[in-house]
Structure 1
């Protein structure tokens, strides 16, 4: 019986420790890859990557967004970077708090050396705001940015203002009027932030037009703005994403235990597969 309990506790300890050891190994691989990229580009590499990690709470994947903790950490990394050292920010996020995104964006804009933002897949909402603060944006050919229109709870600020325009004032309840007032302020604040960031690298008239376009609610909040559309709007977008960034993204796996919905042989093919010709 004692042997049985000894094996039981050993199994229990291994079950508890193995995920932690696996996570630690992944973190070391990430750090090694980041150092390799820093040496290659002579820069400080910062990652702001929000994915569902393999570790989760009670088996439920935890979805993350840009929050105050993120802005604190990014601002600290910027403070630790010499003024003459470039910063490379790897950005992969659905967005998040406007306050945190603006803090990060303004801190990057103030950095004296060159700031490059790399977007391997997507940087929506607040992520787009941060990307626009960079001196250079490098995206995968299929990566996207998105509108920066503010959201009040479950409703877009621009849509709340549409209600005020469409209905007589006496038929609108007090709560909607209050929301409309806040929505108007939120739109003005975000538009001003976009304008301040964009006018650093383009004429003021163009910066004002783009700031209004991205914040006015012309598109749905999750509308994907691809590389070609961004270029047509006047943004200078590059697509020469370093291969180290793709390898780094592979070290942010989705939660374990789920059946994969996408599968493929993870090897690059040199040429198209040639079917053998039938014998004559």
Structure 2
């Protein structure tokens, strides 16, 4: 019987390296499921994660950037349907936003759930993520987390800016394509304001509902404007900062792709203020 050749060893090492991203992904998924079960048992709720970060998903380890899409809405709505009406729902949001249709579907399904719904925002939930958070009974934010405006975008342009161009520039100076985009933009703004009023209705007085819907949807800020915890509280949104430690542990199980040189590095252990002693040396 012939021995193992160097060529065989090379192919074995190559196959192990090719399988490494897949195996690591499976281990991460198993760890997430364990943490989700732990959080569900603690809070007696259904926990749903909507997390979009770059993650090494493919066979060759290329990072994939994601956003809220129809596949997300299908999965979240399925999870809500599988939850009894009297079981609370906790949805963890970490997303830059995405499709208006998909975000609205999730938000409306969340609002219709009879038991308490809570949106957790450990870092950021912009645009469509904010739309979903606004449908919850309570929004739990880290003190450094942010939400964002939900003003619609038409192509690469803010809808409010397109409408402003049509209002401020003579029509004979505007090309047909811009006029068409402005018409679509006006419809998008009206639709978003209406949908926001529908989501907020019943949770705020009528005047407050209209105020918030207009403020968040009509382009007062740039689309990436960060609405901080303090600002969200000042706006009257139902926010708190009682973030469970398990949420942060879950987020640590969504690692970014490793770079050759990490941009942030620290010793991954808590640093606490040492208790004041009685002056004696301890070893």
Give the shorter-chain TM-score range.
Answer: over 0.9
SS of the equivalent of 1:149 reads coil
Q: Does 1:92 align with 2:110?
A: no
CA drift of 1:152 comes to 0.8
Report the alpha carbon displacement of residue 256 of structure 1 after superposing the two structures with TM.
Answer: 2.3
Deviations 1:150-177 (A, max 9, x none): 0011100000011111111122111111
Question: Which residue number corresponds to residue 277 of structure 1?
Answer: none
Deviation at 1:42, TM superposition (A): 0.4
The question of 1:21 aligning with 2:23 is answered: yes
Q: Which moved more, 1:211-220 or 1:256-265?
A: 256-265
Give the TM-score of the pair, scaled to structure 2.
0.93
Q: Is the 8 A contact 1:70 1:100 kept in 2?
A: yes
When residues 210 and 24 of structure 1 are mapped into structure 2, their CA distance, relative to the original with a 3 A threshold, is same
Secondary structure at 1:182 match in 2: helix
Partner of 2:161: 159
Which residue of structure 1 lines up, in the alignment, with residue 281 of structure 2? none
Q: Which aligned pairs between 1:84-233 and structure 2 lie closer than 5 A?
A: 84-233=86-235
CA deviation string 1:223-253 (max 9, x = no partner): 0000111111111210010000000000000
TM-score by length of 1: 0.94
2: distance between equivalents of 1:270 and 1:167?
59
Provide structure 2 residue ranges, at least 5 long, that are not aligned to the other structure.
277-283
Task: Identify the match of residue 265 of structure 2 among 257, 263, 266.
Answer: 263
For 2:84 and 2:199, locate their aligned partners in 1 and report how far apart those are by CA, in whole Å. 22
Structure 1 distance, partners of 2:259, 2:230, is 37
| Distance apart, 1:57 and its partner CA | 7.3
Deviation readout 1:40-91 (Å, 9 max, x if unpaired): 0000000000000133575542110000000000000001001110000000
- Does the CA-based 8 Å contact 1:146-1:222 persist in structure 2? yes
The answer to whether the 8 Å contact 2:21/2:59 transfers is no
SS state at 1:271 partner:
coil
CA distance in 2, matches of 1:8, 1:21: 20
Question: In the alignment, is the contact (CA less than 8 A) between 2:77 and 2:106 conserved in 1?
Answer: yes
Whether the 8 Å contact between 2:189 and 2:218 is mirrored in structure 1 is: yes
Paired residue for 2:243?
241
Residues 18, 60 of structure 2: 8 Å contact kept = no
Contact 1:56-1:255 at 8 Å conserved across structures: no
Give the CA RMSD over aligned residues: 1.6
